[in-house]
Amino acid sequence: MKAWLRQRIDWLRTQDLRLLAVLSALGVLLVVFIQIGRAVSGAQTRAFDEAILLALRTTPDDPIGSPAVTVAILQLTALGSGPVITVIVIVTAVFFALEGRWRYALLVAVCAIGTNAVMSVLKDFYERARPTVVTQIDPPGGHSFPSGHSMISAAVYMTLAILIARSLKRRRLRVYVVAIGAALPMLIGFTRVYLGVHYPTDVIAGWTAGALCALINGLLVFRLGKRGVADIPRQVEED
């Protein structure tokens, strides 16, 4: 038994545990998304979804908070809109290109385009209607599952956070950047539920699918770095 355990420990020491952790996370996220999709297709989440939507309303027509809160939410939700994401992607891709970091310019562009394409396919596949239990504020039209704002913002902002974090020397700064990259999609997702244009499970599924895309991009960056072809060398200096 001791010899077997020692062999397992020696094997783990020879493996890249970060790579194994990322692959495991990818598998978990994929399973979570599939399970949410099945539950939504079977109408198993209806009570949960409607309860949260109604909890954010004083009446089905009136969101909690003052009109100024609603205006602020409308402005914040734009952070995940197509035009804003497009501008951010173009600006960052051009920046990377001007710096000669062509792989990362391409990665950012492919991330946005690929995520948008996958999102469209998923929406057409599930064909979930928008919420009707509350009055939608500024309804976007189209299918509801998964939330496009949540999915695209998670994929793009988290990918950018990964790329920025790799150029920073201090761990606290890397942690901060990654935390912001994760927090922004969460905030955007909340605004979609508050406005009544998405069910909570739409948003959770969007976060899951977007994080899946971002992790795949992070894996590509990691593998490029391992092969010595990364445009941005990873800094190892710690606090």
The answer to whether position 10 is within a domain reads: no
- Residues of the chain scoring pLDDT < 50: 11-12, 227-229, 232-239
Q: State how far the Cα of 148 lies from the Cα of 153, in Å rounded to an integer.
A: 8
The answer to whether position 231 is within a domain reads: no
Burial classification of residue 17, based on how many CB atoms lie within 10 Å of its CB (0-12 exposed, 13-18 middle, 19 or more buried): exposed
Predicted local distance difference test score (pLDDT) of residue 16 = 55
The answer to whether position 194 is within a domain reads: yes
- Residue 184 contacts by C-beta under 8 Å, 6 or more apart in sequence? 79, 153, 157
Predicted local distance difference test score (pLDDT) of residue 238 = 45
The answer to whether position 5 is within a domain reads: no
The answer to whether position 182 is within a domain reads: yes
Predicted local distance difference test score (pLDDT) of residue 86 = 94
CB 133 within 8 A of CB 53: yes
Predicted local distance difference test score (pLDDT) of residue 235 = 47
The answer to whether position 169 is within a domain reads: yes
pLDDT digits (tens, 9 = 90+) for 21-34: 767 777 888 898 99
**Mean pLDDT, the chain, as a whole number?**
84
Q: State how far the Cα of 184 lies from the Cα of 9, in Å rounded to an integer.
A: 39
Predicted local distance difference test score (pLDDT) of residue 156 = 94
The answer to whether position 34 is within a domain reads: yes
Predicted local distance difference test score (pLDDT) of residue 232 = 47
The answer to whether position 64 is within a domain reads: yes
Predicted local distance difference test score (pLDDT) of residue 222 = 64
- Show the domain range for 120: 18-226
Domains: count for the chain: 1
Q: State how far the Cα of 112 lies from the Cα of 72, in Å rounded to an integer.
A: 26
CB 156 within 8 A of CB 127: no
